């Protein structure tokens, strides 16, 4: 019988695989991270719609005759101020970019930027995440490219965007009911370590629980604290991390696990002092989406809005991405496969294209 001695390294590896609750300690941060300035309050909100193509003249507004132009990278680029008109109670920038005038105000139009000419010049058939930078996610020829973190998760993992995580319960919020839009680096800042799918929020209840479930209002009295086991094993964590025998793969796995556990621990004790912050009521079951009933779709997505707005106002998150699947959540009269085959796959024809532009 061989003499097998359990070393501290093996003990910590086993413990790490089960529950190693070690947070990121200030002593491990870089000087740049420690010297980072407070967050400036900027937010990122991205939407992906899998409805298919829309002809440019339906989506994009016309530039005014006096638009500015200049030569750049061998091409002529132009810019001009957005203008809008009013029709039937709606503010209209283009056939697609329109909304009720009570919400889509002239002040909001002035804050908008509409970009033309930024596109993906290769096949990304049946994709979602290519819109956010992970080109290999689709079925097209781009699948030969390496898998990448998407823009929302690159921002969410950035210490420049989040110099500190005070008051943050979720670095990012991803809402989806079909498809994979959001991917994060397994090890922040290290693309070569591979990527993970980000788990989406599919109901308003789950979103509320994640943002506000452990929320401490400013007036709440601080709960008594006691030493945490994560602090007790910090020295062992540092010793394991710097052990020359630890492989690069094991080190990445350790860092990934430690950061995830640290994020859970941090979210359990978040409090804010923002005057505009108020916790919304916990939502019930969302409205049921019904085929051929556009209002039911609008009501469903509106059920997320108050929670998102409150979460952004409280600073509980600053990154939001949302994916609308193309035929199961269409605002048109056709649902599921009829929309897919009769509209999305025939969008080059005038009839289907008009239907798509109307539904958007």
pLDDT 10s digits, 84-93: 999 999 999 9
Per-residue pLDDT of 306-315, as tens digits, reads 899 889 988 8
Burial class (CB in 10 A: 0-12, 13-18, 19+), 346: middle
Instruction: Grade residue 1 by pLDDT with cuts at 50, 70 and 90.
Output: very low
At 312, is the secondary structure helix, strand, or coil? helix
Distance, CA of 61 to CA of 95 (rounded, Å): 8
Assess whether pLDDT exceeds 70 at residue 37.
no
Assess whether pLDDT exceeds 70 at residue 12.
no
The rounded mean pLDDT for the chain is 75
Reported pTM: 0.66
Task: Classify residue 144 by its DSSP letter.
Answer: G
Sheet holding 90-92, edge to edge: 85-87, 90-92, 98-100
Distance, CA of 326 to CA of 323 (rounded, Å): 9
Assess whether pLDDT exceeds 50 at residue 24.
no
Within 13 A of 157's CA, how many CA atoms are on the CB side? 21
| The most confident of 190-194, 312-316, 323-327, by mean pLDDT | 312-316
- Higher pLDDT: 239 or 230? It is 239
Distance, CA of 137 to CA of 125 (rounded, Å): 9
Instruction: Grade residue 155 by pLDDT with cuts at 50, 70 and 90.
Output: very high
Distance, CA of 195 to CA of 174 (rounded, Å): 16
Query: CA geometry: angle at 248 spanning 246 and 250, to 5°?
Result: 60
Assess whether pLDDT exceeds 90 at residue 70.
yes
CA dihedral 330, 209, 312, 159 (to 10 degrees): -110
Instruction: Grade residue 38 by pLDDT with cuts at 50, 70 and 90.
Output: very low
Q: Where are the beta strands (DSSP E) in the chain?
A: 44-49, 68-72, 75-79, 85-87, 90-92, 98-100, 173-176, 183-185, 195-197, 319-324
The H-or-E segment that residue 352 falls in is helix 350-359
Residue-level pLDDT at 341? 78
Assess whether pLDDT exceeds 90 at residue 355.
no
């Amino acid at each position: 019988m061989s003499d097998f001695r359990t070393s501290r390294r093996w003990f910590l590896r086993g413990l790490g695989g089960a529950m190693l609750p070690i947070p990121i300690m200030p002593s491990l941060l870089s000087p740049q991270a420690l010297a980072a300035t407070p967050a400036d309050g900027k937010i990122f909100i991205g939407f992906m719609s899998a409805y298919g193509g829309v002809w440019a003249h339906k989506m994009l507004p016309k530039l005014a005759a006096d638009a500015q132009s200049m030569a750049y990278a061998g091409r002529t680029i132009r810019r001009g101020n957005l203008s809008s008109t009013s029709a039937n109670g709606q503010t209209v920038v283009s056939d697609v970019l329109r909304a009720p005038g009570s919400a889509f105000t002239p002040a909001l139009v002035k804050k908008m930027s509409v970009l033309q000419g930024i596109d993906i010049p290769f096949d990304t058939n049946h994709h979602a995440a290519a819109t956010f930078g992970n080109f290999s996610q689709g079925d097209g020829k781009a699948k030969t490219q390496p898998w990448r973190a998407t823009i929302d998760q690159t921002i969410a993992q950035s210490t420049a965007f989040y110099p500190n995580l005070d008051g943050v319960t979720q670095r990012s919020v991803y809402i989806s009911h079909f498809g994979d839009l959001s991917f994060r680096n397994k090890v922040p800042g290290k693309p070569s370590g591979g990527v993970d799918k980000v788990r989406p929020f599919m109901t308003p209840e789950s979103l509320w629980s994640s943002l506000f479930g452990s929320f401490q209002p400013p007036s709440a009295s601080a709960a008594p604290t006691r030493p945490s086991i994560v602090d007790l094993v910090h020295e062992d964590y540092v010793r394991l991390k710097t052990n020359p025998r630890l492989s690069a793969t094991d080190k990445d796995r350790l860092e990934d696990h430690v950061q995830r556990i640290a994020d859970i621990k941090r979210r359990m004790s978040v409090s804010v002092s923002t005057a505009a912050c108020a916790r919304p009521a916990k939502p019930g079951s969302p409205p049921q989406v019904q085929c051929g009933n556009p209002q039911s779709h609008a009501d469903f997505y509106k059920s997320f809005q108050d929670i998102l707005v409150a979460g952004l106002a409280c600073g509980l998150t600053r990154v939001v991405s949302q994916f609308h699947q193309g035929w199961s959540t269409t605002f048109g009269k056709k649902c599921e496969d009829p929309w897919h085959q009769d509209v999305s796959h025939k969008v080059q024809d005038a009839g289907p294209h008009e239907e798509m532009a109307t539904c958007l």
